A = this chain, B = another copy of it.
Amino acid sequence: MAFHLACQMYEPVTISDRLFLDLRRAILTGELPAGKKISEPELSATYGVSRGSLREAISKLENCNLVTRKPNIGARVVTFSVDQLLEIYQIREAMEGMAARLAARNMSDHEIQHLRMLLERHKKAIDDPEITNKADLERDADLDFHFCIIQGCSNERLLRMLCQDLYDLVRFYRYRLNPGFSPTAMQEHELLVQALERRDGEMAELLMRHHVRASRDRAKERLQQMTPEELGLAG
């Protein structure tokens, strides 16, 4: 499994924890489609647990923004509009920019070497003719790259807000509308690693913000060419 998916803070000890992880995976991978009603009787029967435990798991899903609940009506898997997606890019620009600035100061040399290694491996994999599923590779490599920097920022709460509150939404989107390979993005990653290697926090923040903004523009262009049916996740 890709590194970025394993970035969970705790291991499941209780039933609702296990259930939460199962449902989370189901939602992220698309097994549960966007907008799908979360039926408590149905799911509690499927997983063989009581409604109480299920409701607790749903609460946790609500925390990472993967479902929305309305009183007396129920929970649904989250849906995306293009606008909401672009909103997330704006937030990422601000938060990951700060994360990059802090990472330049706080990452250990070893962590930076690891990041460099990720990047080089990614470069090789892109040129490898034996790897057919370039889209999945690109998605996982990019997510791993960003995770590595976020984890190096040494700001525990920033890390949690990004990983728990925001990145599940990014995955949710990526697993449905994978933007695919972009040579410019790879170049942006390269420059960013160089800035981190120089410990240049100011530049790292600028480059990260530029990179996220550029990704946003690429996604926007791509999304505007798609029909609502292709999107399949309008709210």
A residues lining the B interface (CB < 8 Å): 13-14, 17, 52, 55-56, 59-60, 62-63, 71-72, 84, 87-88, 90-91, 93-95, 97-98, 102, 155-158, 161, 165-166
Contact = CB atoms under 8 A, between A and B. Distances in A.
Contact of A94 (B62, B63, B94): B94
A151 to B, nearest CB: 15
19 contacts: A13-B72, A14-B72, A52-B52, A56-B59, A59-B59, A87-B155, A87-B156, A87-B157, A90-B102, A90-B158, A91-B98, A91-B157, A91-B158, A93-B98, A94-B95, A94-B97, A161-B165, A161-B166, A165-B165
B71 A13 contact: yes
Nearest to A166: B161
A63 B52 CA distance: 18
Contacts of A59: 56, 59-60, 63
A14 B87 contact: no
Contacts of A60: 59
Nearest to A164: B165
Sorted from nearest, which 7 A-B pairs have the closest CB atoms? A94-B98, A59-B59, A94-B94, A13-B71, A87-B157, A87-B155, A14-B71
B158 A71 contact: no
A94 B201 CA distance: 14
A188 B122 CA distance: 45
Contacts of A72: 13-14
Given A14-B72, A56-B59, A91-B98, 9 more contacts: A13-B72, A17-B71, A59-B59, A87-B155, A90-B155, A93-B98, A94-B95, A94-B97, A161-B165
